[in-house]
Amino acid sequence: MKDRAERLRAIRRNIREHRITSQELLLNYLKDEGYSVTQATLSRDLKLLKVGKVSEGTGGYYYTLPSEEQMRESEMNYLHDLRRGFISVEFSGNLAIVRTVTGHADTVGIALDNLGIEDILGTVAGDDTVLVVLREDTTREHFLRDLDDRVPHLGV
């Protein structure tokens, strides 16, 4: 079974190499490459990759990837949101509990979801707490090191 990172690379490559006009067409390209993906998963992947649609000028649209400048700007915003709201992190098994400034859990959760930290399966945000579900084989030390690498000076 091919992993998520490989699938995301395949999605990017297909969008760069082909004029993708629908998720169905992209699903077919991925299927031809051996990926078994549902439409819902593909939709989440496209959102994660910040894929947009551009008008063809004839009433149709095709998918496009964000520019490097747009990606850097988004990443800087995520880093800023995380630094602004983060207070601390604690662990229980493969769960991390991130404490945030009141009202910042949603933006901290979104930042964690979008910074490409491979150990994170997903997040659930409240008002001042983010539940982070980690891959089962992830150690606390490994997650903290990865978080510190992605978000220097966070104080973890």
Q: What is the pLDDT of residues 8-46, one digit of tens each?
A: 889 999 999 999 999 999 999 999 999 999 998 898 888
Residue 29 belongs to a domain: yes
78 and 52 belong to one structural domain: no
Residues 101, 56 within the same domain: no
Q: Which residues, including other chains, have CB under 8 Å from residue 95's CB and lie 6 or more apart?
A: 131, 132, 133, 134
The yes-or-no verdict on residue 96 having pLDDT over 80 is: yes
Range of the domain at 119: 69-150
Q: Are strands 61-64 and 52-55 parallel, antiparallel or unpaired?
A: antiparallel
What pLDDT does 155 receive? 77
- Among the candidates 14, 37, 64, a domain finishes at 64
Examine the domain organization and report whether 76 and 59 are in the same domain: no
Question: Does residue 44 sit within a domain?
Answer: yes
If asked whether residues 49 and 106 sit together in one domain, one would say no
The total of structural domains in the chain comes to: 2
